[in-house]
């Protein structure tokens, strides 16, 4: 079942790289305060690298001004996410999370089966706005689209 507006984000474990692999709970990371969580199907893929992530990098001051923490998740490992962040020059306040086994993505009900293209299970492209761990806005992209999960769309939804 896909997560919906009004639902609490599920408890799951994600990883990131910071002087070694770190592990944390989705509820500990995103369960309090204002949070935008966006997902990309894969680090280093064209739309993710050239459009999705750069929009959030560009607008991090706008999210900070609203008191919103920003997390990006992908079904990649922590080493890949770290390398992608370094290659893209992400600011310290944009947090890249790895969901290597797609456990969190599946718990959200937002997995994408890319096996026919040799990509395995990935996350659908989406963005959600949370307040104290409860989904207030959920924007899921149609296949091949990039509109509603962009940083600008999320800022508009938060201000809406």
Q: Active site residue: 36, 48, 68, 135, which one?
A: 48
Confidence of residue 136 (pLDDT cuts 50, 70, 90): very high
For the chain, percent helix, then strand, then coil, each to nearest 5? 35, 30, 35
Three-point CA angle 62, 66, 72, nearest 5°: 65
Q: Specify the pLDDT at position 21.
A: 96
Say if CB 50 and CB 133 are below 8 A apart: no
Sign of the dihedral defined by the CA atoms of residues 13, 78, 136, 63, in that order = positive
Mean pLDDT throughout 132-141?
98
Q: Is the pLDDT of residue 118 over 90?
A: no
Say if CB 43 and CB 74 are below 8 A apart: yes
Does domain 13-159 correspond to CATH entry 3.40.30.10?
yes
How long a stretch of residues is the chain?
Answer: 160
- Measured CA to CA, the distance from residue 81 to residue 104 in angstroms comes to 16
- Measured CA to CA, the distance from residue 145 to residue 135 in angstroms comes to 22
Q: Specify the pLDDT at position 8.
A: 98
Confidence of residue 1 (pLDDT cuts 50, 70, 90): confident
Q: Is the pLDDT of residue 9 over 90?
A: yes
Domain boundaries, the chain: 13-159
Q: Specify the pLDDT at position 117.
A: 87
Confidence of residue 101 (pLDDT cuts 50, 70, 90): very high
Q: Is 43 exposed, middle or buried (0-12, 13-18, 19+ CB in 10 A)?
A: buried
Does the active-site annotation cover 48?
yes
Q: Is the pLDDT of residue 132 over 90?
A: yes
Q: Specify the pLDDT at position 105.
A: 98
């Amino acid at each position: 079942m896909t997560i919906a507006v009004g639902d609490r984000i599920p408890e799951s474990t994600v990883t990131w790289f910071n002087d070694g692999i770190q592990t944390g709970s989705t509820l500990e990371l995103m369960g309090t305060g204002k949070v935008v969580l966006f997902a990309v199907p894969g680090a280093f893929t064209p739309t993710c690298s050239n459009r999705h992530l750069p929009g959030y990098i560009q607008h991090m001051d706008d999210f900070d001004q609203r008191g919103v923490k920003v997390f990006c998740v992908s079904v990649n490992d922590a080493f890949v996410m770290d390398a992608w962040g370094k290659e893209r020059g992400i600011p310290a306040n944009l947090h890249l999370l790895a969901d290597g086994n797609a456990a969190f993505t599946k718990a959200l009900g937002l997995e994408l089966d890319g096996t026919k293209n040799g990509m395995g299970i990935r996350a659908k492209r989406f963005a959600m706005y949370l307040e104290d761990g409860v989904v207030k806005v959920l924007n899921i992209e149609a296949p091949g689209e990039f509109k509603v999960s962009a940083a600008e769309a999320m800022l508009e939804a938060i201000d809406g």
